[in-house]
Chain A
Amino acid sequence: MGTSMNGSWKLGNKMTALVVDDDSINQTIHHRLLEKLGIENQVARNGKEAIDIHCSGKKFDLILMDRDMPIMNGIEATRKLRAMGIRSLIAGVSTRSLKQEIQEFMEAGLDDYQEKPLTSAKIISILHKIDHSGSISLTRT
């Protein structure tokens, strides 16, 4: 039993996502989690790669942003993306649980924050924040 997404988002295209994480285990798991939910996704290894991908013109419905990464971390990358005018749903993902650390990350421009490790339930709860007009429907398979 699983849950699949029938997403119609922006001109009826399939939902897209960007996984930003420096850890290969998390990259593999998050990529697969999204794939299983029917969300097309690609992976960036750090904040700078995430910015570069956006500069090349690509846009995503959802960005899963890890906090601690080399070259450019998640806080800085989130700030930069918002400054660039990116309005995608950005969910911060981290193992850090201190209130002020979460606050700091949220203030960079996050729409949501989830503690690692991610599960499909957590991703679904992030997605419920995307669009309250119900353009996303979740069906059980």
Chain B
Amino acid sequence: MDSVIQLQRQLVDYTAQLFNEGILDDQFNQLQQLQDESNPDFVVEVVTLFFEDSERLLNELAKALEQQSVDYRKIDAHVHQLKGSSSSIGAQRVQKVCIAFRNCCEDRNIEGCQKCLQQVKHEYSLVKTKLETLFKVRGKKGKNKSNLFRMNTVAQATDFCLYDRSLSRRFWQQEGQFLGQYNKVKTIAEDHSQRKQNGILDM
């Protein structure tokens, strides 16, 4: 039970970190508020659209910047779109780079544009990784049976998770550790379920 609470706390801290670092802004909160029982996957759906859109736009931008004669109007149009969609989901750092990118387009500064493309790719990849981690741990579409965050009662929690003292001692700073921890708890939970099924239960 303790380990579940710890993991829940770590999730809250992880999410808070994303806001503190400016990776996400209040618009992401707005999206979360639109999610409920009738629309349980709303955030994942919108963010998935954002990933698809962004990947397409980043490819187009790379191609456009490789051309012999650069079409700045086209590049500006793509960046404008990326700016819009990143602001719609609250991907603040991506949005900020897009603003700088548009300025470089206006100045017809090819080097500036290339630099901005690298920056925006970096920021996009960062927010994508963070969001994917968040969704993985929170669970999506109910397929993740050992989704610890859907457990509200002690009975549910003990059903899925062995009490493990070592989990409650550490505070996870790194994403890798966070995921590693989640995987560890998941393995324990699955193992526990298996033992229960086989009639061997140790608590």
Contacts and interface: CB of A to CB of B under 8 A. Distances in A.
Give the interface SS of chain B, mostly helix, strand, loop or mixed. Answer: helix
Interface residues of B, number: 21
A32 B42 contact: yes
A95 B49 CA distance: 19
A28 interface: yes
Given A117-B27, A117-B30, A117-B88, A28 B83 contact: no
A36 to B, nearest CB: 6
A32 B34 contact: yes
Interface residues of A, number: 15
Contacts of B39: 32
A26 B84 CA distance: 9
B118 to A, nearest CB: 24
Contact of B81 (A23, A28, A117): A23
A116 B84 contact: yes
A25 B83 contact: no
Contacts of A28: 45-46, 49
Nearest to A121: B30
B53 interface: yes
Nearest to B81: A23
B146 interface: no
Contacts of A95: 80, 83-84, 87
A25 B27 CA distance: 13
Interface in B32-86: 33-34, 36, 39, 42, 45-46, 49-50, 53, 80-81, 83-85
